[in-house]
Amino acid sequence: MSDAFDRWVEWCSKPPGDRRGIPAELYAAVMSLPEDDRSDRQRVNEAVRHHKRLAAREEPFGSTSTITRTAERTRQASPDG
């Protein structure tokens, strides 16, 4: 089983014209590291785990509670509210 680092290295090493991709979350996590750290297995894997933990805490855009809160704020801000 490959880890995030293996997927990153495989993607970076693909031949020109190869349209294989990696998940945007993996790319974002690795690109948030300094360039020298992107070749360090431990740092890459930890960055991806950290990114996943942060994403799990965020509320998905367009979720019911987000829409409800937005509607409530709009109602409170309106002159009729």
7-61: per-residue pLDDT in tens? 999 999 999 999 999 999 999 999 999 999 999 999 999 999 999 988 888 766 5
**What was the pLDDT predicted at 58?**
74
Can you tell me the distance from the alpha carbon of 33 to that of 13, in angstroms, rounded to the nearest whole number?
18
**What was the pLDDT predicted at 80?**
60
The separation between the first and the last C-alpha atoms of the chain, rounded to the nearest angstrom, is: 56
Task: Parse the chain into domains and list their residue ranges.
Answer: 4-77
Highest mean pLDDT of the ranges 18-22, 62-66, 75-79: 18-22
Question: Higher-confidence residue: 77 or 36?
Answer: 36
Reported pTM:
0.67
- Whether residue 77 is predicted with pLDDT greater than 90 in this model: the reply is no
